Every structure is written in C-alpha cells, then in structure tokens.
Structure 1
Amino acid sequence: MKKTICLILIVQSIMSFHLKYISDPKALCLDGSPSSFYKAEGYGTGAKKYILHFQGGSRIGGQTYEQLVKSAYTRSKTDLGSSKNLNQQMLYSGWFGRTKNGNEHYYNWNMIYLNYCDGTQHQGYKSDPIEYEGQKLYFRGDQIVKSWLSELYDDLSKAEIVIVSGCSAGGIAAYFWVDYIRSKLPASVVVYGIPDSGIFIDMAAIDGTNNPRQSLDLLIDLVNSEVSHPNSECVSNNQQQKWKCYYAQYLLEYIKTPLFIVQSLYDYYSLSQMFKVDCANNYNLTQCTQDQLDFSQILYSKTYDVIMKRKQSFQETGGFAPSCIEHCFLLTSRYDSADWQVPGESGNTLSNTINKWLNSNQKYDDNIYLDSVEWPENHKCSNSELSNYSNQFQIIIIILISSIIS
C-alpha cells in the first residue's frame, strides 16, 4: 500500500505544473513580490509545442483614483496581487490536463500558465510605485509579460507551434498580446490565439450606468502613460479613443494572428457583474423580468455580431460560442464534456472543435460554432443539472473577486 501511495505521488509530481519565478527585478506583483508562472514540460510528440495561458481574475477598479488605488491595495493581499503564498506545484484540468485519457491531443505539450498578479489585465507599466496605507504598490503588467517571454524565448523560438490563450482578464490579455508574441518569434514558428471569455461588450448596464468604462479610463491614465497598449496598430488608429483597444470587439479588427474564439453568448460575468442583471446569478434567466430578458438578448446579439464580423474579415477565424450563461471553458470540465455542444446533440464539443480547427489549416468554412438557438432553448449547456453542480466553486471565486474590486 505504501509503495502504491509513493508511486502516485511521484507520478503526480512529474505530471504537475511547477512554480517558476521571473528573474527580472522590475517584473513585480502589486505588493513587490516577484512575478511567476507555472510550467509543465512537454515530451514526446509535444516536446516542441507550447500553450501560453494568461490567468484571469478581473481587474482593479473604482470610479475615482482613490478607489482604484484602494482596490489595488486590497488585491495585493491576495494571490492575485502577490506571489508570496503560491503553491510550488499545481494541477489543472480541461485543456491543461496531463493525462491522455482526459486530454488526448495536448496532454504532452509544454503548458505555461502566467500567474496574474498585476491587477491591470497583464498590461501597463508605472516605473514609480504608489504608496497606500504605508505599502508600495507596483504596476508592472507590461514588464511581467515581456520578461516572461524573454525567459521562454530560447525554447519558443525553436517551437513548432505556440498557442496564446487565457481566460477572462487573461482572455482579453491574449487578445492584447497575441500579435506582439507573433512578431517576436521566427516565421518558422506557427502561432495561434485561442482566447477564452475575453469579449466584454462596450455598453451601459441595465440601469444606464457604465462603471467599467469609467474605471477603464482611470486605469489607462494610471498605468499606460509610460508604455503603450501591446497592439500598436490599434493605438495608432485610435489616438483619440485609446480605450477602444482594451475591448476585444474593437481590437479584433487589428489582430492578424489566426484566432479561435471561445466565448459564451450570455457571458455570466458580464451579465451579473458588469451589467447588473442580478437574476443571472444562478446561471440561468428563469427568475428574470422581461426587461432583464430583453437586455440579455441584446448582449447575445452584440456578442454574436462581434464574432461574425471577425469571421467575415478574417476567414480563417474559428470559434465555439454556446448560448449559455457561463464564463470560462478551457481549463474546466466543460472543455470536453458532452454536456456542452454547439449545436446541441451535434457532438461538437469545445475539445473537438479546437482540434479540428488546428488541424484544418483554417481552410474549413464550417470551423466556427456559434449557437443560433437563444436561451432557454439552448440544450447541452450550463443550465443542465450536472453543470450547475460543478459551477459552485467558480461562483464563490467570482464573488470573492468582485468584492475585491467593488
């Protein structure tokens, strides 16, 4: 029995992600601790294949400068603002699963998970820290990403394929950085972007307020005066409206790297947190008023149109977008679950559709899967009983994150 336990521990250690600190002394988390990432080494057929994943977790926020800095201070006391209490090893599921049974196509790839500790969506830079409540706060997202890539460059420059990914705030970071990463690697390296839940529609909440936009304007003033947004073409073409480059719906026009877009058409975080549709808190809309249902349908239509506009402009674009109230897919059981198909009962899971897209050289006309069936007729979705049970932990995490930025 003891030998069995030891063997399991050894296997888990080999398969797990190991914590690595970024050596650049300027690449600091909010609290001044060193930034970091987790890495699982690729082997066999995956030895020269890489997935770079940006961790998500909302961003610092507030309607005044004081609130913004206070939000950063609060966040600096957590793992989303500090590396002081991170585990030395981690295990992830879904697309980052390390067993062939659970992740047939990518289990042996190099998988690299950039920990999110800058609070500003993995971008921006302020050379001088801000002091609040006797603590120095560092805003170094741009430096963290560039230093991370620099440390990985020797390996990435010899790669066969590099996929840039991320969820939520990490999803928008993938949109931010994918062309920059493409530009830094040799032409022989194939680069793709697969952002997850990174489309946050620019529109007012159901009560008419637009707190995210107001907060974003303050954030840009705070951390983007010394460095520019990673997508220089977007910035160049929006000199008077640079905030547009922080929304995927506008940024997509300028991204040249092939993308496979993973996105809920009724994004949970957008509905419940950004747009104040409180009835969506239980991952369905059964308790909503007609006004709330109508608003949710507007979000569905706008998100659908954003993805289709990208597809029309860049035919190689693929995507998986169910009509579900959900947020984040790739590193969860939803990645390959038969309970998530577009359309329902088609067999088109997220795992299947990504693999088909990556192996089609983006020449298929049917490589984008947008659910044309609106809620509540969307079967095979987050409204299933199984999926609701599995989402309870994520609900708690999102509530905690929301309390940090409120």
Structure 2
Amino acid sequence: MANPRLRGLTWLRQKWGRKDWAIAATGFTLLMLAIIVTLETWTQETESSVNQYFNPDPPLVDLTLLSNNAMEKGAVCLDGSPPGYHFLKGFGSGANNWLLHLEGGGWCDTVASCSMRKRTALGSSKYMNRQVPFSGILSNDPSQNPEFFNWNKVKIRYCDGASFSGNPESEFKNGTELFFRGQLIWKEIMGELLSIGLAHVSQAVLSGCSSGGLATLIHCDDFRELLPKDAIVKCVADAGFFLDVKDISGNSAIQSFYRNVVDLQGVVQSLNKDCISRMEPSQCFFPQEIIKNTKTPVFLVHPAYDIWQIQNILVPGVSDPHHEWLKCRLNIYNCNRRQIKVLQEFRSSLLKALEEFRQKKNGGMFINSCFVHCQTWMTSTWHSPGSPRINNKTIAESVGDWYFNRRVVTEIDCAYPCNPTCFNMILVGPMGQRT
C-alpha cells in the first residue's frame, strides 16, 4: 500500500495550482521567521533564568549604532536604519585580544518576508534592545568563560537577512524600500572596530551562531586578511553548518530557499569565485562548499540533531500534511522509533558532509548529540557545571584546547540518546528538560 504521507503530497500536487504553491511558499518563509523569533525568545528567556543561577549579574552592554558616515556609504539595515554592535572592552592579559560574535536569526528570501522582517530587531535597529547581557562565549566571568573572559568582545547585531552578504545591486526600485546591504554592513563595522583597536590585535576569534555561524564561514578568510599577519586568527561557527539534504517527502526545500535568498539579495558577489564558476551560485551558500575553500582555521560547534534544521530542512511543515511529525519536531522525547531512525539518518548525513573537513589539520569540531540550536552564547551550554560534554570536556574547554593548540580536537558524540549531559530544547510543554 502506498505511504499515506506520499499519497497526501500527490493529491496536493494534483489539486493545487501555481497560485496555491506560491501562497504555500510565502507561508513557509513567514513560518520560518516565526520559528526564528520563537527560538530567539526561548533562548533569551532560558538564558535569563539560567544566568540567575550561574551568573546573577552578567554585564549589560550598550548598543552602539554606526555613524552617519557609514550610513552615507550605504551600510544600513533592511529598513534603512543604522546597523549596530555591542562592545565590551578587554582588560589585563586580554587587552590586545578580540572576540567578535555575529548574531544569528535566519534569512528572508522574498519581498514579503523581508518586509515583515524589517519590522523586527532582525531587520531594523529601531527594535533592537539598547542593552544586552554578555554570557557564554561573551562572558567576562573566568568561571564561565575561562579562555576569553578578559578579551575585547563584540556582539554584532544582525539586521540584513542574508548572513551579512547581501549587495545593493539587487535591490528593487519599485517602492518596496528594502535595503540589501549585508556586505556593506560587514565592511563598515569592521572598519569601525579596526579604528578602535582591532587593527593592533595579537589574538582574534570570529564567531557566530546559526545564520551568524554561516556568516562566520563566509567572512572567515576576509577577517584574517584585515588583521596583522603575525596575529593568531581563527573562526568558530556555532550551529551554522546547514545541510543540503532532501526533506522527508523527497524535496529540497532548503535548496529552493537558499536560491531565493541568493537571487533576491545579490549574495553571489560575496561568495567564493572559484565555487560559483563550478556550480549554481546558491550551492556555494552551503557550508559544505564554503569550508572547502576556507584557509583560516575553523572550529565547528554543532548538534547532530539541530532543532532548527529538523524543523525547516528535514521536516518542514509542507512535507508533513497529516502532522505525523508535529510532536516530534518540537520535542525529541515524543519521537517514535521510525522517526528516531530518520533522525539518525540525518545525523549520518551530517557526518558524511564533514568527512572532508575532518581531514584538515588546522580544523576542529564538537558535534554533540543534543536536540538544540546555538550553544556557544548561553552559559548553560558553553561552560557550566551542567553543560553538555564529550569525553568530559565542555564546548568552552574544547574550543580553548583547539585555539591554543593544546591538542587535536575532533569530538564526535555517540548517537542519541547516549549522552546524559545534553541540554535538549522543548518547544511545547516544560522547556529545558534534560535526557
């Protein structure tokens, strides 16, 4: 008998016209933004409560908006407002070292989704918090951030919708009032940071989570080129290794989505020239292709069961018309044996995609078997008594060992549910529950 899920998809293909599919596609991208906002809210609320236990008084760091001069050069958010960043000055032995963190928050691939996005903090500095707590990899507490606590630290806010890689040549001139300036934002913020001390750095890290993790990979070599030749410069991408895989219905939703992002926002100009000469440009937006051409040392922090990718790449809503995966997508404890098998295959796809990267002598990785998304900027998952561990090492300890060349770090966890230290997200019911 035919699979009922496939029967349902076949019926949709037969009954829906082009207009119906266009509406569904728009709904998909808007749903992605809604999920992004949900995840951002969840992590902020969770981190706030966790901080009360691990760090009752994290530093609140003011937002700095780029100057009018930078805006005149075209560096603006989706809505035309000035981009911004938060800067915490280093001290002691870390006074000449810098750690930059690129904020994540997904992408927008249509005029409709970008227009919606520009009315949020992910598209406009008008809606950004004027102060944010610095925790995890940004913390100034040595007990929570043993390697980088006294470095100069910068959180760069994300307001362009294309991983800091869009270009204005693709902007519409028909009154939509959307600005695709990610590459210019990157350039101008780097220019400002260089002018206040980054130009004289001794040791540096470029990091980012989610779409900020992807941006970290895109700009890693650029970052290296901006800094002194004798500086130690490395990159840490957290939950930014987005997989080019088919969903449970056999479609490639993420391929289509990335193609739309690249086309809409003129991303091709920010991608590796050798890569785009060999394949369709949007393929070069996938990390698996980006890292093939990256020369600067990279460390990948990534959950094998990335909750964002499971919801949007492996099991997007349109691929599950009968809602068989609804509970599983939101809470891994609700997955049945068949669904767990699919998730294990997803993990295998990740490990296969990382095979070439594992051969790089200067690379490192921490691939745990947790159902989560972004682990470096939360105290609870970066470095605390209850943080996820592999071989009794936290993420912070593993990144530190790799950065300072204390050991080769290629930590790959066993398959779910073997790791009792995992912090698994639950988007329905009690949150933050552990295995």
In the superposition, the TM-score normalised over structure 1's length comes to: 0.82
Matched residue, 2:6: none
Distance 1:202 1:222, change over 3 A: same
Instruction: Decide whether the 8 Å contact of 1:50 with 1:156 is kept in 2.
Output: yes
Q: SS state of the match for residue 212, structure 1? A: helix
Tell me the distance in 1 between the aligned counterparts of 2:307 and 2:399.
Answer: 22
Q: SS state of the match for residue 369, structure 1? A: strand
Tell me the distance in 1 between the aligned counterparts of 2:148 and 2:431.
Answer: 23
Matched residue, 2:84: 36
Matched residue, 1:207: 249
Q: SS state of the match for residue 157, structure 1? A: helix
Matched residue, 1:234: 275
Q: SS state of the match for residue 320, structure 1? A: strand
Is residue 2:376 matched to residue 1:334? no
Matched residue, 2:99: 51
Instruction: Decide whether the 8 Å contact of 1:229 with 1:245 is kept in 2.
Output: no
| Residues 361-383 of structure 1, C-alpha deviations (whole Å, 9 max, x = no match) | 6xx34x11111x21122321124
Q: 2:401 aligns with which of 349, 356, 365?
A: 356
Structure 1 segment 7-406 matched on structure 2, within 5 A: 15-23=59-67, 24-25=70-71, 26-61=74-109, 68-127=110-169, 129-130=171-172, 135-154=176-195, 155-224=197-266, 228-236=269-277, 238=278, 240-276=279-315, 278-288=326-336, 290=338, 292-312=339-359, 314-332=360-378, 333-343=380-390, 346-360=391-405, 364-365=407-408, 367-371=409-413, 373-383=414-424, 391=432
Tell me the distance in 2 between the aligned counterparts of 1:213 and 1:322.
Answer: 25
Following TM superposition, by how much is the alpha carbon of 1:258 offset from its aligned partner in structure 2, in angstroms?
0.6
Name the one with the larger helix percent.
2
The residue type paired with residue 228 of structure 1 is Q
| Residues 331-389 of structure 1, C-alpha deviations (whole Å, 9 max, x = no match) | 1120013444443xx3211111111112226xx34x11111x2112232112499xx96
Q: SS state of the match for residue 200, structure 2? A: coil
In the superposition, the TM-score normalised over structure 2's length comes to: 0.77
Instruction: Decide whether the 8 Å contact of 1:338 with 1:380 is kept in 2.
Output: no
Distance 1:257 1:390, change over 3 A: farther
Following TM superposition, by how much is the alpha carbon of 1:304 offset from its aligned partner in structure 2, in angstroms?
1.7
The residue type paired with residue 269 of structure 1 is W
Matched residue, 1:397: none
Following TM superposition, by how much is the alpha carbon of 1:204 offset from its aligned partner in structure 2, in angstroms?
1.2
Distance 1:340 1:303, change over 3 A: farther
Q: SS state of the match for residue 177, structure 2? A: strand
Tell me the distance in 1 between the aligned counterparts of 2:181 and 2:231.
Answer: 28
Q: Please tell me the root mean square deviation across aligned C-alpha atoms, in Å.
A: 2.4
The residue type paired with residue 73 of structure 1 is S
Instruction: Decide whether the 8 Å contact of 2:210 with 2:238 is kept in 1.
Output: yes
Following TM superposition, by how much is the alpha carbon of 1:289 offset from its aligned partner in structure 2, in angstroms?
5.2
Q: SS state of the match for residue 37, structure 1? A: strand
Question: Which blocks of at least 5 consecutive residues in structure 2 are unaligned?
Answer: 1-55, 316-324
| Residues 20-75 of structure 1, C-alpha deviations (whole Å, 9 max, x = no match) | 112211111111101111111111111111111110011113xxxxxx10000000
Question: Which blocks of at least 5 consecutive residues in structure 1 are unaligned?
Answer: 1-11, 62-67, 393-406
